[in-house]
Amino acid sequence: MNNDTLFSGRGDSRRSFLHKMGAAAMGLPALSWLAGPAGAANPGFVQGGKQLGVALVGLGGYSKHQLAPALQQTRFCKLTGLVTGTPAKAAEWKGKYNIADKNVYDYKTYDRLVDNKDVDIVYVVLPNAMHAEFTIRALQAGKHVICEKPMAVSVAECQQMIDAAKKARRQLAIGYRLHSTPHHQQVMQWAKEKPFGAIKIVETSDGFRMGDPNQWRLKKALAGGGSMMDIGIYALNASRYATGEEPVSVFAQEYKTDPVKFKEVDETILWQLKFPSGAVANSTSTYAASVERMYVTCEKGWYEMGPCYGYGPIKGRTHKGDMDLPQVVHQAAQMDDFAQCILNNTPTKVPGEEGLKDVRVIEAIYKSIETGKVVQVTA
């Protein structure tokens, strides 16, 4: 989508409203993870204060290209441990990130983390169906955990993870990095304050064109589902925080253009949510094409963002003008948010309960597709 073409005519005069509602007004923390040259020129930071140790579990694409680089920019945590089933990766990463031999584990030795004081936080970055087991094992080893989205492949598993965190008296966060970005925080704040009146209609869509037909994302046993579990969850999560409400019912339909590639999992799902206030959401999740937007229309105005679920920069605007907010390195902001919660003994804003709520709606979406009926979403 070419935003400049679609939204031409935006003038500086219309920016003042949003500028006033910008970072300072939102009480954002010191922006150490500013994206781009300002952030890049400032690696390492802090010093003097305590930095918690993070172990990454699963050294695949997301760990390699996003989380490990972000951990070079975090102020309150740093990369101290690795868990991988591939010895060659262990060797490469140890050298690159200067990780001690004693802090490198495989999936069998993983539970020995219990004896390792260099690791405070375990970050589970494995295929979705492995999230529950590796989260619970880390909690049992006495570690705080960040688990990637989707939290797990069923509500039952999510509940087991929440119970394990309570029992271990450790914090469990889900990798919802967008909750640590100024743009999405602004949308959450507007859901509370309703500066444009009651929220009426929300449209959210997330998708990309799926490549490699042999990856775990296309295997139900490892992924739990298709595009809906993987990226539709962003559109779903956004509709929940854009309204600030939990849906009461859902109606969904599934479409496939490539039944061979998407034999086991969903390619495209369209769904509608009804919220208690009367607001409704219309959303799309797809592996067929690139799409990334959210649109919220209210009694007295509207706002929208796109692109808005990728790693940035995020672009947003309202009927009054552009959203003039800082861009951050999502993962660095997210991991520092969590580290501060642990250091200050305050609850994370993205706990297991938040992950469970999305998985509950996803289960209702799949049930609606299966039955062809509206499904109530019950807690």
- Based on its alpha-carbon atoms, the radius of gyration of the chain, rounded to whole angstroms, reads 21
**Residue 125 touches ligand NAD, criterion: CB under 6 A:** yes
Is-catalytic flag, 255? no
Residue 355 C-beta: closest distance to ligand NAD, Å: 11
Find out whether 268 and 305 touch, Cβ atoms under 8 Å.
Answer: no
Based on CB atoms, which residue is closest to ligand NAD, 227 or 318? 227
**Across-strand partners of 172?**
145
**Residue 87 touches ligand NAD, criterion: CB under 6 A:** no
Q: Which residues contact 362 (CB under 8 A, 6 or more apart)?
A: 150, 225, 228, 229, 232, 233, 236
Residue 65 C-beta: closest distance to ligand NAD, Å: 8
Which amino acid is present at 52? Answer: L
**Residue 56 touches ligand NAD, criterion: CB under 6 A:** no
Q: Which residue in the set 78, 177, 240, 360 belongs to the binding site for ligand NAD (CB under 6 A)?
A: 177
**Residue 59 touches ligand NAD, criterion: CB under 6 A:** yes
Is-catalytic flag, 149? yes
Q: x/- contact string, 299-318, with ligand NAD (CB under 6 A)?
A: --------------------
- Report the alpha-carbon distance of residue 124 to residue 120 in Å, rounded: 13
**Residue 244 touches ligand NAD, criterion: CB under 6 A:** no
Q: Report the sign of the C-alpha dihedral through residues 97, 330, 280, 162, in that order.
A: positive
Based on CB atoms, which residue is closest to ligand NAD, 175 or 225? 175
Find out whether 365 and 107 touch, Cβ atoms under 8 Å.
Answer: no
Find out whether 266 and 228 touch, Cβ atoms under 8 Å.
Answer: yes
Six-digit token pair at 307? 């692109």
Strand order through the sheet with 121-124: 104-105, 77-83, 52-57, 121-124, 144-147, 172-174
Q: Which residue in the set 45, 62, 97, 302 belongs to the binding site for ligand NAD (CB under 6 A)?
A: 62
**Residue 58 touches ligand NAD, criterion: CB under 6 A:** yes
Closest to 199 (Cα-Cα) out of 207, 210, 211, 190: 190
Using CB under 6 A as the binding criterion, the count of chain residues that bind ligand NAD stands at: 18
**Residue 60 touches ligand NAD, criterion: CB under 6 A:** yes
**Residue 216 touches ligand NAD, criterion: CB under 6 A:** yes
The residues of the shown chain that bind ligand NAD, judged by CB under 6 A, are 58-63, 85, 125-128, 148-149, 175, 177, 216, 222, 230
Give the residue numbers annotated as catalytic, written as ranges.
149, 234
